[in-house]
Amino acid sequence: MIDIGVNLTNSQFDHDRDQAIVRAKTAGVTGLILTGTNLAESQAVADYASTEPDFCYATAGIHPHDATTFTEQALTELRELALRPEVVAIGECGLDFNRDFSPRPQQEAAFEAQLALAAELQLPVFMHCRDAHQRFMDILIPWRSKVPAAVLHCFTGSEAELQDCLALDLHIGITGWICDERRGQTLQKLVSLIPANRLMIETDSPYLLPRDLITKPKSRRNEPAYLPHIAQRIAACRGDNPDQLIAETTATSRAFFCI
């Protein structure tokens, strides 16, 4: 199993980061893609990935929440980071019109600049979209043929939005959101529409702890060791054999990130 979205440099892991890696391996996880959300975090995840070769990999990008920090200098530094062997994708980048932590014009400019960087370096793109589907698509469509691959991580949208993404040959990342008996109902019905060769699995830890875990950690923190639980839930919703789903999503993730 490969967890394609792990915020391992988040402060919630400061007291047991290495132990979380051990627990993930014990649970059967065979690889982690560590998410870069700004320059500092992108540097940190690349540095950490270098200490766990062939298990941890990194992305380099600026999240829409941090779009106000995106400058020409930041773009130069991202380009340098992306040349490191540990970095396998540009991102997390995209749009978030739900919280608007950065002004929308700045989010849009940062997103397009990172798509251009991915096209320049021929790296896949790790993307975020929340409450911004149409504008997200408007910006992405002209670049889609220029980047080798693109994944919308933590998909939680509608069927129409999913079909738009699939029509654009996007990969789809599914998290423990699908384990939520309230918010996850729509996703539980839609996940079977995703072709096996476009589906990838992730925890987005430390966020989105699966709500249907029988024994929940006191910290309420999600971590990569819970990826098998998420995979089992996805398989059940799709009517798939869990082992087959794990094999397929692992192969898809390895091909997508070239690892």
Mean pLDDT per block of 10 residues along the chain (259 residues) reads 97 96 98 97 97 97 97 96 97 96 97 98 98 98 98 97 98 96 93 97 97 88 97 97 97 98
User: What's the confidence (pLDDT) of residue 56?
Assistant: 98
Q: Which fold has domain 2-257?
A: TIM Barrel (3.20.20)
User: What's the confidence (pLDDT) of residue 218?
Assistant: 86
User: What's the confidence (pLDDT) of residue 214?
Assistant: 86
d(CA 118, CA 234): 30
pTM: 0.96
For the record, the structure tokens of 257 come out as: 């990130």
d(CA 39, CA 42): 5
Q: Are 10 and 231 in contact (CB under 8 A)?
A: no
- Closest by Cα among 103, 22, 19 to 55: 22
> Is 195 exposed, middle or buried (CB count within 10 Å of its CB: 0-12, 13-18, 19+)?
exposed
